[in-house]
Structure 1
Amino acid sequence: MTVFKLITSDYKKYKKYGGHFFAIVFFTQGFWAIFQYRIANGIYRKVHIPLVRPVLLLLCLFWQKMIEVTTGISIPASVQIGHSFYIGHFGGIILNGKAVIGNNCNISQGVTIGVSGLENRRGVPIIGNNVYIGANAIVAGKITIADNVLIGACSLINTDVATNSVMLGVPAIMISDKGAEGYI
């Protein structure tokens, strides 16, 4: 998808949750962060002109830091995020630069998606499609979160998660196989 189509898909998801243009664009910090990310990621992936690329990426880094200070949301340009991404509430959201997040995912405030593990188990999560990550959850390590997963608030995910799982606790355990339907 093009950068414009990705931004449009994100905007439509915010609109689906009841926002209108003025509120989404001017007052929704999650949308600001994802908008900035889409522009920076587009430059990161598509611009390969030797002198232009580093200058544009540096400008995007300053813009990212401004968004990070303003909103508490850190999304590096190198993260891979699919279409229709939604940040429910702003603040305390940290995504590792090597994270991979699928299509149609929602995350809440306080979420960390980061690096963890030792030796060959050290790495960053790969998150599937239609995944909901609740407030203050941590997803860390060289793990795979399958499609249609719901991760409950304040949970720690450090192992692979099967399709349609509902995960809860520290460390999280599967409490249901009803998945994220209804949450996204």
Structure 2
Amino acid sequence: MSKFNELYNADIARYRGKPETYIRIFLFLYRKASLASFAPLKLIYKALFRIWANRRGLEISASQQIGGGLYLGHAYNITINCRAKIGRNCNIHKGVVIGQVNRGSRKGYPTIGDRVWIGINSAIVGNVTIGDDVMIAPNSFVNIDIPSHSEVFGNPCIIKHRDWATEGYVNNIVE
């Protein structure tokens, strides 16, 4: 199976195989734009992806490193820095910002693990690492490292250890 088919099918499976048409098109164009090897075709996919993403206020780069099983809940007004890395089976919701910091000890871009649920209007900024199985509550501001198996909430963020933190939130996990 091709890398495109593997990632695209993983994304679609997270929606129980029936995402809205605009999500299906967005994921198709994103995966094609990021994986196409024939330069003219890659340019066409990137242009179509950018047009489609802009219609929803999605600031996501076609060169973004996102693992399979991406789930965009309420897919509007999401901003992800092009150098941020996102693992497999992640849920990202409306109004989320995953951005860089340009100065200080946290200068850089976030790295987000597998099975992470990022709630509405949350912000993750700087050179921080978010572990696996982490739930970030809505309206949280994260600018520190978060260990695996944690729940995060508030500003400044409060971290609570919890085994299976995303159980019931990150569903239809693909391997």
Q: TM-score, normalised by structure 1?
A: 0.83
Counterparts of 1:95 and 1:61, CA distance in 2: 16
Give 3-state SS (helix, strand or coil) of 1:35's partner.
helix
Q: For the structure 1 residues 168 and 120, does the alpha-carbon distance in structure 2 shift closer, same or farther, using more than 3 Å as the test?
A: closer
Counterparts of 1:160 and 1:108, CA distance in 2: 20
Kindly state the Cα deviation for residue 117 of structure 1 after the two structures are TM-superposed: 4.5
Q: CA RMSD in A?
A: 1.8
1:61-89 deviations in Å (ceiling 9; x for gaps): 32122112222222211111111110011
Aligned to 2:30: 37
Kindly state the Cα deviation for residue 114 of structure 1 after the two structures are TM-superposed: 1.0
Aligned to 1:135: 120
Counterparts of 2:21 and 2:97, CA distance in 1: 20
Q: Bigger relative contact order, structure 1 or 2, given CA contacts below 8 A and separation 6+?
A: 2
The answer to whether the Cα contact below 8 Å between 2:70 and 2:89 also exists between their aligned partners in 1 is yes
1:25-61 deviations in Å (ceiling 9; x for gaps): xx34333322221111102xxx2xxxx52x3343233
Give 3-state SS (helix, strand or coil) of 2:15's partner.
helix
Of the three residues 54, 75, 88, the one matched with 2:73 is 88
Q: For the structure 1 residues 172 and 29, does the alpha-carbon distance in structure 2 shift closer, same or farther, using more than 3 Å as the test?
A: farther
State the one-letter code of the partner of 1:160. D
Counterparts of 1:30 and 1:134, CA distance in 2: 18
Number of residue pairs matched?
Answer: 168
State the one-letter code of the partner of 2:61. P
2:121 aligned with 1:149: no
State the one-letter code of the partner of 1:168. F
Q: For the structure 1 residues 68 and 37, does the alpha-carbon distance in structure 2 shift closer, same or farther, using more than 3 Å as the test?
A: same
Higher helix share: 1
Map residues 99-118 of structure 1 onto 2, 5 A cutoff: 99-118=84-103
Aligned to 2:12: 11
Q: What percentage of aligned pairs have identical amino acids?
A: 35
